[in-house]
Structure 1
Amino acid sequence: MARTTRRDKVRALLDTYGRTYADEAGIRLADTPQPLYRLLVLAGLLSARIRAGVAVAASKELSAAGLRSPRAMAAATWQQRVDALGRGGYRRYDERTATQLGDGAELAGSRYGGDLRGMRARADGDVAELRRELREFPGMGPAGADIFLREAQAVWPEVAPYLDAKTLQGARLLGLPEAPARLTELADGADPSVLAAALARVALDKDAVRTVEEAAAAR
């Protein structure tokens, strides 16, 4: 029986868990204002201590309520934001998050004119500066900034490869190298945002390692 290689594992990883959270939330990511803002909201929701599926559902409800831009989010009432979060099952943090969403929308409007490409321009290729600016949004801690950058690297190539501590934890659990260059090489040209999302999912799911290893062995 042939030995399972690291490349086999990465291929199985991508086949099994290779879906970004933006895609799961119905965000067709592009370097345009609305998808980038929706990604910012999603990253903030995902950074709370709540199941990823609930955060994704809440993101979808905010979008369905028309809150897809900083202007729309800021114009909504606090109760409208709470209600949309609640419909997504995001109840544990709904009141605080509703306030943070409103304050963050005001910040996006006043600082970047509602267009997060302005944040990218201000950072001018400096990923550490981009991460710092992201953390100025209310409720956006280190985890949220990492999530945003993991996903945004699909449309902001200067960020790639962005493999944060959570993705490297997933690599370690699978016995894969933790050097970003080596990981992306094993991925054979796969979108680094998809690779990062897959590795993060492994880090968050206790059954994922076995699932990937079984899929790799069956190749």
Structure 2
Amino acid sequence: MTQQDVVNVLMDRAGTSYVAEAGINLADKPAPLFQLLMLTELLSTRISADIAVAAAKELVSTGYRTPQRVADADWQELVDALGRAHYKRYDESTASRLGDIASRILDRYGGDLRKLADEAERDPARAAQLLQQFQGIGPTGSDIFLREVQDIWTWARPHFDERALRGAERVQLPADPDRLADLAPENHTADLAAALVRVTLNNEVADQVLAATKIIPA
């Protein structure tokens, strides 16, 4: 069984990016990039990825698709939307952060995160720093954003963060971003990165891949 075979099995079982799972049609446009940043904020909180994705899907499907719409929203409206997705415990603080993020994007970037890429001069390390200016987005959050956006912002590719690399080791793939990118289907590097993250979050996914590829866990 080759490493490519392992990747093919992994992609078949878990190869959907979190942004796609949230129903966001990611493109290099202001609205979907903002929606990805909302998802990033939701995933950055100490809550399950499934609930964070469901919350992002609820926000987007009920009309909170642009920074202007979120900035204009009543705080309680955002709390209620998060509650409908069972995003509890952190719903009030997260609603506040989402409003702050939307306002900052409007003030600094005119509502368009492509200007952040311009300011970063398409340097991933600088982009990570700029992403961390947003309330609630730290190093983990900037990794999530760059991991998910890398097939749109190809200058950020390959981006396999620490969690994705741990997932690669779990299924005996190389813990090296360049080698993993070579194994990814064309324009699906982000999907492979997400699949590797799921390996670290869900033992069942890891076990299925190991069993299907007849790999004996180290």
Same fold (TM over 0.5): yes
The answer to whether the aligner puts 1:158 opposite 2:152 as a matched pair is: no
C-alpha separation between the residues in 2 aligned to 1:200 and 1:135?
21
Deviates more, 1:179-188 or 1:31-40: 179-188
Q: Indicate the residue corresponding to 2:198 in structure 1.
A: 201
C-alpha separation between the residues in 2 aligned to 1:93 and 1:193?
27
Residues 182/102 of structure 1: CA separation in 2 closer, same or farther (3 Å cut): same
> Deviations along 1:19-68, whole A, 9 cap, x unmatched?
00111010000000100000000011011111111111111111133111
The answer to whether the aligner puts 1:96 opposite 2:106 as a matched pair is: no
Q: Indicate the residue corresponding to 1:32 in structure 2.
A: 29
Aligned residue type for 1:57: A
Equivalences, count: 215
Aligned residue type for 1:123: A
Q: Secondary structure at the match of 1:101?
A: helix
Residues 92/188 of structure 1: CA separation in 2 closer, same or farther (3 Å cut): same
C-alpha separation between the residues in 1 aligned to 2:200 and 2:144?
13
The 8 Å contact of residues 33 and 117 in structure 1, kept in 2 or not, is answered as: yes
Q: Indicate the residue corresponding to 1:124 in structure 2.
A: 121
> Deviations along 1:130-155, whole A, 9 cap, x unmatched?
00111111111211111111111111
The 8 Å contact of residues 119 and 133 in structure 1, kept in 2 or not, is answered as: yes
Q: Indicate the residue corresponding to 1:7 in structure 2.
A: 4
CA positional deviation for 1:13: 0.8
CA positional deviation for 1:188: 5.0
Q: Secondary structure at the match of 1:40?
A: helix
Q: Which among 136, 140, 143 is matched to residue 143 of structure 1?
A: 140
Deviates more, 1:184-193 or 1:35-44: 184-193
The 8 Å contact of residues 184 and 190 in structure 1, kept in 2 or not, is answered as: no
Q: Secondary structure at the match of 1:207?
A: helix
The 8 Å contact of residues 68 and 102 in structure 2, kept in 1 or not, is answered as: yes
CA positional deviation for 1:161: 0.5
Residues 217/185 of structure 1: CA separation in 2 closer, same or farther (3 Å cut): same
Structure 2: 5+ residue runs without aligned partners?
A: none
Q: Indicate the residue corresponding to 2:20 in structure 1.
A: 23
The answer to whether the aligner puts 1:43 opposite 2:43 as a matched pair is: no
C-alpha separation between the residues in 2 aligned to 1:183 and 1:120?
24
Q: With the length of structure 1 as denominator, give the TM-score of the two structures.
A: 0.94
CA positional deviation for 1:177: 0.9
Residues 215/190 of structure 1: CA separation in 2 closer, same or farther (3 Å cut): farther
CA positional deviation for 1:183: 1.4
Q: CA RMSD in A?
A: 1.4
Identical pairs, percent: 48
Q: Indicate the residue corresponding to 1:55 in structure 2.
A: 52
Aligned residue type for 2:209: V
C-alpha separation between the residues in 1 aligned to 2:35 and 2:137?
14
C-alpha separation between the residues in 1 aligned to 2:187 and 2:2?
17
- 4+ runs of 1 displaced by more than 4 Å? none
